[in-house]
Each structure stands twice: as C-alpha cells, then as structure tokens.
Amino acid sequence: MELVGRGTGHRDRDRRTIAVGGEPTFRDTRHLTGVPALPYLVAVPSETPPRNDDAAGPPDGGSRPRKPARRRSQSAYTRAGVDLDHDESFIDDIKEIARPTFRPEVLTGIGGFAGLFKAPERYADPVFVAAADGVGTKLKLAAQVGRFDTVGIDCVAMVVNDLIVQGAEPVVFLDYLAMSQLDKGIASEALRGVAEGCKRAGCALLGGETATMPGVYRKGEIELVGFAVGVVDRDKVIEGSTIREGDVLVGLASSGFHSNGYSLVRRVVDEGVKAGKIDLFAAVAEINTSLASALLAPTRIYVKPLLNVIREFEVHGIVHVTGGGFSGNVPRILPQGVVARIDPQAWPRPGVYPWIQRLAELPEEEMLRVFNCGIGMILVVPHEQAEDIIHRLQGLGERGYRIGEIERKRSDSGLPIAFDPGFLTRSDEDERD
C-alpha cells in the first residue's frame, strides 16, 4: 500500500507518494504505555565526515605537503537553512510509522498530489464530517521536558474527539509538523505519537506535511496540527436538536488538562521554576506522580467507546469539553428553551486541578471556564437510559458519572448553563424521603 500526499516540507517541491512497507520498530515501549516520571531524550547520530585521502600524505611517508581537505559545496538553499537531502531522507521513516494505521478505505497510487480514500461501504447515506485542531502551547512544555510522543497523541485526540461529537467515525487523519530545522529524532517521536493516536481512534494516517521553516520556530520546538475526516449516515448525525427537558448529562472522565489551558499552566510552572518552588521532575504528593508526567499526559480519545454507545443507545447530544471548558462548550449543542444544570461536585477531581487552582488563585467560575475539571466528554441522553449507558461505558474502560440534567429555561434572558453544586445529592435525598 502507499501513503499518498506527504510533503517533504519545502514549498517549492511537489508532494510525493510514499511506498509503505515493513513494521515500525519502537525504540521504547513508553511511547505507548503512558507517561513516565522522568523524560527521555532521543539522540540523533551525527554524520561521519567523508574520508579525505588527499590529506593523508604519500604512501611512502615522504615529505609531500598535505593538501587542504576538500569540502562538499553547499547549495544556496542549504545555506539558507533547508537541507533538501537531509529532509527528503526522512520519508523512509514516515512510511514505516504510517503503514500500521491504514484502513481498507485508503486508495493508493504512485505520484499523487493528495490523499485518496473512500467512504466505508457499510454507510448507506454517508455524510463526511471534517475537523482541524492543534496541540497549542502544550508543545512548549513538551520541548521544555524533552518529550514529544504524547503530544502526537494529543494532536489526533483534539480532532477526532470533535468528529465523534457529531456521531462520525474518523476515517483518515493528516498532520502538519513544522520546525526551524528538521530534527529527525524529535519528528519521529512526534509522528509515532500521531500514529498511536490514529490506532486508538481507528483512523488512517493518510498523509501530511513536514515543514522546515528557518527563523520561524526556536531550535528544539515544533508546531503540530491535525486534520481529519469522518463519516456518519445522514439520519444518524448528532447535533443536539433532539435534546429535551428531563435528559441526563453523563460525563466521561478526562486524563488531565488534555490540551487546553496550557498558557495559564505554563505561566504558573515558569514562575514556580524561576522561584525555585517547582521541580518538573519531582513527585508531587497531591497528584501522585511527577509534574512533568501529569502535565504531558495525552488527551483521552473517546472514539471507540462512544461509537459503541451510539450504536445501541439513544444519544441526543455530545459535548467535547475542550477550550472554553464547560461554559464555552455545553451551550454549543443546546436548542432554544432549555438549560443545562450541572453539579460540579458530582465527580471526583484529580489532584492536578486543585493544584492549579491553588497556585493560580483561580475562582471556581474561572476553573469551569478554562479547564475540563476532570470531565473530557459529556453525553446528553434520555433519563431512562442513563444508568445503562454509564454501566456500558464502565465496561468499555471509561469512568462515567451522572453530572447534571436538562431543564426548561425559565426566561429568555437566562444563561443556557447553570452550575449548582450538590443539587444531584439533594435530589437523591429528596427521592429517598
């Protein structure tokens, strides 16, 4: 099979078709099994300089003067910071990374300028759903720690989680990776993370762009953005219009901050490191691991468990709790005339949230607007199916919680979301009485 449409990062060169073959070799199983307490660095072998026989003197040991070593002349483009030979040799690494993610829907060919794929045949009336997102300033922290595989998973997660909100199955994914100069070690690590994210989501890494952009990024830092296309039958699209009074909000646990709020997180970390109060690699009691591990934990990918639930239960709406937290995302799916009443005490918050709230001195209102606070995805489901859905999610390895309800809006001027700490506990007590 082939991976169609991966660029080599040079604006004046055509995109290429990459023949794909062979299995990838993971140098460290930590790429796949979580975030260790300590980071690791990827070493890139230095090139061995070519031998210069003319500089070695005559074979008889005579006194013939040595000639100066001849240097390979550099092209103008290389002197400008883009080494075409070095960068194009990275294609072989990419094909090994991408091949295990391929699906039958990928159509391959030689010499293509873009990726080709078809809709899965099981869809009777397919609608294509597209999304794009980036990892954001979490990449700065990854560079600071020296670890890039988990942000590759983040890159996929932020996009495919937006697709499943519409009920769409992700089919293909494309990435954009840019650096000031191509560091093959860093790029390979990030793309292996992307490939792992694609496996978790069940989509193919169809192609992408690896860009060398001297002077744009700092050495050792990257830009990482993702694009994906999913498919859903027209009559199965989930867009919130069927949400009604009495529906229950079921929250799915997050793995941490995911990829949001890191401008604030980094400010707190940078100030603490400078003051000698924060050590990224030391264990922090309230989060039960090192700070680096907690902050670089990859975004949870909810695609496969939610596809399972959607197939067998009635789901009226789904919210990806991403940038903007609860306040910025829940209202996006609500129809007119209803309000989402949420109990912020209805689920346990991992220690990283009180940690950031304490150090940044954040009021609860801002916490709920900036961070996911431990809930990465919300389902809006019929009241009578809520418990069965929670049990199904638990069987699929997710932690689900009943976190709120849909109520009728009392006035046109009211907000579409209301936070009422403890109301679910009070409601349960009233029912028992």
pLDDT tens-place string over residues 172-200? 999 999 999 999 999 999 999 999 999 99
Q: What is the pLDDT of residues 373-382, one digit of tens each?
A: 999 999 999 9
Which of 194, 229, 242, 173 has its CA nearest to residue 97?
A: 194
Q: Which CATH number fits domain 2-40+80-234: 3.30.1330.10, 3.40.50.150, 3.20.20.140, 1.10.3720.10?
A: 3.30.1330.10
**What is the model's pLDDT at position 95?**
86
The better pLDDT of the pair 396, 3 is held by: 396
Whether the pLDDT of residue 77 is over 60: the answer is yes
**What is the model's pLDDT at position 83?**
86
81: left (phi over 0), alpha (psi -120 to 50) or beta: left
**What is the model's pLDDT at position 114?**
83
Structure tokens at 73: 């002349």
pTM (predicted TM-score):
0.82
Whether the pLDDT of residue 32 is over 70: the answer is no
The answer to whether residues 256 and 298 touch, using CB atoms and an 8 Å cutoff, is no
Q: What is the pLDDT of residues 246-257, one digit of tens each?
A: 999 999 999 999
> Mean pLDDT lowest for which of 21-35, 51-65, 125-139?
21-35
**What is the model's pLDDT at position 72?**
59
The answer to whether residues 226 and 155 touch, using CB atoms and an 8 Å cutoff, is yes
Average confidence (pLDDT) over 346-360: 97
Q: How confident is the model at residue 169 (pLDDT cuts 50, 70, 90)?
A: very high
* Amino acid found at 282: A
Whether the pLDDT of residue 109 is over 50: the answer is no
Q: How confident is the model at residue 71 (pLDDT cuts 50, 70, 90)?
A: low
Which of 87, 250, 63 has its CA nearest to residue 179?
A: 87
For the chain, the structural domain boundaries read: 2-40+80-234, 248-432
φ, ψ for residue 251 (rounded to 5)?
-100, 140
How far is it between the farthest Cα atoms of the chain? Answer: 107
Whether the pLDDT of residue 37 is over 50: the answer is no
> Mean pLDDT lowest for which of 34-48, 61-75, 129-143, 414-428?
34-48
Structure tokens at 55: 């500089």
Handedness of CA 110, 115, 118, 120 (dihedral sign): positive
Query: Interhelix angle for 303-312 vs 386-395, to 10°?
Result: 140
d(CA 309, CA 380): 12
Q: Is 14 exposed, middle or buried (0-12, 13-18, 19+ CB in 10 A)?
A: exposed
**What is the model's pLDDT at position 17?**
30
Q: Percentage of the chain with pLDDT > 90?
A: 71
* H or E element, residue 170: strand 169-179
> Mean pLDDT lowest for which of 56-65, 85-94, 207-216?
56-65
Q: What is the pLDDT of residues 114-157, one digit of tens each?
A: 889 999 999 999 999 999 999 999 999 999 999 999 999 999 99
Structure tokens at 303: 């695609």
Q: Which residues contact 325 (CB under 8 A, 6 or more apart)?
A: 260, 367, 368, 369, 370, 371, 372, 373
d(CA 404, CA 388): 16
Q: How confident is the model at residue 415 (pLDDT cuts 50, 70, 90)?
A: confident
The answer to whether residues 294 and 287 touch, using CB atoms and an 8 Å cutoff, is yes
The answer to whether residues 250 and 376 touch, using CB atoms and an 8 Å cutoff, is no
Q: What is the CATH number of domain 248-432?
A: 3.90.650.10
The better pLDDT of the pair 8, 85 is held by: 85
φ, ψ for residue 97 (rounded to 5)?
-70, -40
Q: Which residues, listed in sequence order, are joined to residue 169 by a DSSP beta bridge?
A: 231
